[in-house]
Amino acid sequence: MAELAAAQARTQEELSLLSREMRAFKGEMGAFKDEMRTFKDESEASGKRLDRSMGELANKLGRLVEDIVSPGLPTVFRQIVGLAEEEPVESAMRVRRRHPRDPGRMAEYDVIVKGAGRLLVCETRSTLRPEDLDPFMAKLAECRVFLPEAEGCAVLGAFASFVLDDSLTTAVGRKGLVMIGLGTGLLVVRNPKGFIPREF
């Protein structure tokens, strides 16, 4: 009987010790969960800051391309349409317009150049991707609605980009668009000789 009582006391003591260890473990797990929740919240906040920073950087890079391309585009325009250097052209960058009948719709054009009955709409990209082509074609198709300057003009479309590969230049040319890249004279038309741009 004494042995049974001693065994029972040891069991009780072990259960008490196990209970204390379980409480300590639960406390540690609670602290760990709190730390993980804090880590997750900080990671999400950091990710949002990173996303925001990346978006801001992409916007700045896009504006840099516009700023580099815009001054040279009238010269390239004259080359494309065969105008002499002294013939006047007008150009504007970051042109934003509302739809005349649907004020909730807006369109933005990176650079436009007009002269001799033609209007060039140029979309700039730091890196041009194949998926950029179709949206720009749709934008060109309805640009006369947003750009009164296009009245009485043949509209031409162009892409200007820092990073180009030959297959993309070919794809752009097949759509009748002018492809402009960087070269020794800063801006260079990349389409092959004899290329005739499509009029929209």
pLDDT tens for 118-160 read 999 999 988 899 999 999 999 999 999 999 999 999 999 999 9
In a domain, 13, yes or no: no
pTM of the model: 0.68
Q: How far is CA 99 from the centre of its chain?
A: 23
In a domain, 21, yes or no: no
Pairing of β 118-127 and β 90-98: unpaired
Distance CA 135, CA 108 (A): 13
C-alpha distance from residue 66 to each of 88, 93, 94, 132 (Å): 21, 8, 8, 16
Assign residue 75 the CATH number of its domain: 3.40.1350.10
What is the per-residue pLDDT across 70-99, written as a single tens digit (0 to 9) for each?
889 999 999 999 999 889 999 999 999 999
Q: What is the DSSP letter of 194?
A: T
In a domain, 47, yes or no: no
Amino acid at 30: G
Q: Quote the number of domains for the chain.
A: 1
Per-residue pLDDT at 25 = 58
